[in-house]
C-alpha cells in the first residue's frame, strides 16, 4: 500500500485554489462523503479552505452502509455544528431532501436578507468530494435532464456553468477533485476497499485480507455464510481464510482471482451493508 499512499502537493494546491476562487459565487457548499467511511472520505483541508462558508454534509450511498452507524455519525456531525443529510443519490427523493436541508442551513441568512428587503432567489451551491463518493450521480439527480446555463451570473463568463435544479437550487459545476492526504495507511485501505483508488494500483490480496478481517470482527458470520464455510473458519487468520475461499470457489492456487472475488463482492454488498469508519473507536475524537 505504501506505493499508493502518496501526497501530490501540486494537484492539491490546484484543486484548493479552484475551490477557493469559486467560493465567492456560492451561498453554500455541499460536502459529499461516502456513508461507509464518513471520516476517511473527507478531505482534511476542507475546513481550512471553506472556513466560515455555510456547509451541508451529505452522506451518500446509505444503501450500502450500516444504518445504525450512519445515525451515529449524523449525530456526531451535528455535535460538531454541521447539519447532515443521509441519501442514496439514485433515489428520486434525493433532490427534495438536499434542497430542504440546504434551506435549513441557510435559514438565518435568508431571514436577514428578507428584513433587508432582498428578494428571495434560488440557492447557489457547489459540490465537493473525493473520487467515488457519487458526485456525478448526485449532480445528475439534482439537475435531472434540464441541464442549462442560467445566464447572466458571475462565473459563467469564466467558462463555469451554472446547472439549474428546479426553482430552488443552482449548482456551480466544479471539475476540481479534492483528494485526502493519506497520513494513516488504514485510510488508504478503507478507500481501496470501497473503490476510491484504482485497482491496478493495489495489491488486491492485501485489500481482500483487510476486508475479510474487518467483516469477521464487526459482522461475524457473514463471510462464512456467503462462502458456505463453517462458522469456525472465521477464527482463522484472514490470509488462511482467503486461501480457503479461493479453493472453495475452484480457483486452485489463484489467490489473485480469489482476492478479486472477495473485494468485488464486498463492494457489491454481497456480504451485506457495512461501515468501515466505526463510531466510538476514537477516530472521531481526533477530528473534534
Which residues carry a binding-site annotation? 60-63, 132-137, 176
Q: Looking at the chain, how many residues does it have?
A: 288
Helix or strand holding residue 48 (H, E): helix 46-50
For strands 55-60 and 28-34, give the pairing.
parallel
Q: Quick check: 94 and 87 in contact, CB under 8 A? A: yes
* Annotated binding-site members for GTP: 60-63, 132-137, 176
**HSE toward the beta carbon, residue 30, CA cutoff 13 A:** 34
Helix or strand holding residue 189 (H, E): helix 185-193
CA angle 220, 224, 227 (to 5 degrees): 140
Give the residues across from 34 on adjacent strands: 60
Interatomic CA distance for residues 262 and 251, integer angstroms: 13
- How would you write 192-237 as a 3-class SS string? HHCCCCCHHHCCHHHHHHHHHHHHHHHCCCHHHHHCCCCHHHHHCC
Closest CA to 129 of 116, 121, 119, 138: 138
3-state class of 107 per DSSP?
helix
Amino acid at each position: 500500500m505504501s506505493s499508493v499512499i502518496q501526497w501530490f502537493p501540486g494537484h492539491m494546491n490546484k484543486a484548493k485554489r479552484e475551490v477557493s476562487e469559486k467560493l465567492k459565487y456560492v451561498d453554500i457548499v455541499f460536502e459529499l462523503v461516502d456513508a461507509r467511511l464518513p471520516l476517511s472520505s473527507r478531505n482534511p483541508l476542507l475546513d481550512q479552505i471553506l472556513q466560515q462558508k455555510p456547509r451541508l454534509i451529505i452522506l451518500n450511498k446509505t444503501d450500502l452502509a450500516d444504518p445504525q452507524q450512519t445515525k451515529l455519525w449524523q449525530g456526531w456531525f451535528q455535535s460538531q455544528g454541521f447539519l447532515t443529510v443521509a441519501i442514496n443519490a439514485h433515489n428520486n427523493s434525493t433532490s427534495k431532501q438536499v434542497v430542504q436541508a440546504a434551506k435549513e442551513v441557510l435559514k438565518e441568512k435568508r431571514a436577514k436578507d428578507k428584513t433587508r428587503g432582498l428578494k428571495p432567489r434560488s440557492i447557489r451551491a457547489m459540490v465537493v468530494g473525493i473520487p467515488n463518493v457519487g458526485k456525478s450521480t448526485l449532480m445528475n439527480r439534482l439537475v435531472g435532464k434540464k441541464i442549462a446555463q442560467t445566464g447572466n451570473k458571475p462565473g459563467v463568463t469564466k467558462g463555469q456553468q451554472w446547472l439549474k435544479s428546479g426553482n430552488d437550487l443552482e449548482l456551480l459545476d466544479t471539475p476540481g477533485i479534492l483528494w485526502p492526504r493519506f497520513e494513516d495507511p488504514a485510510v488508504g485501505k478503507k478507500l481501496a476497499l470501497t473503490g476510491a483508488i484504482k485497482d491496478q494500483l493495489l495489491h488486491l490480496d492485501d485489500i481482500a485480507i483487510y476486508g475479510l478481517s474487518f467483516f469477521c470482527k464487526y459482522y461475524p458470520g457473514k463471510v462464512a455464510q456467503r462462502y458456505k464455510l463453517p462458522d469456525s473458519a472465521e477464527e482463522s487468520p484472514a490470509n488462511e481464510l482467503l486461501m480457503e475461499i479461493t479453493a472453495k470457489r475452484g480457483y486452485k492456487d489463484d489467490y489473485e482471482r480469489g482476492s478479486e472475488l472477495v473485494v468485488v463482492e464486498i463492494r457489491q454488498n454481497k456480504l451485506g451493508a457495512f461501515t468501515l469508519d466505526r463510531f466510538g473507536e476514537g477516530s472521531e475524537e481526533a477530528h473534534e
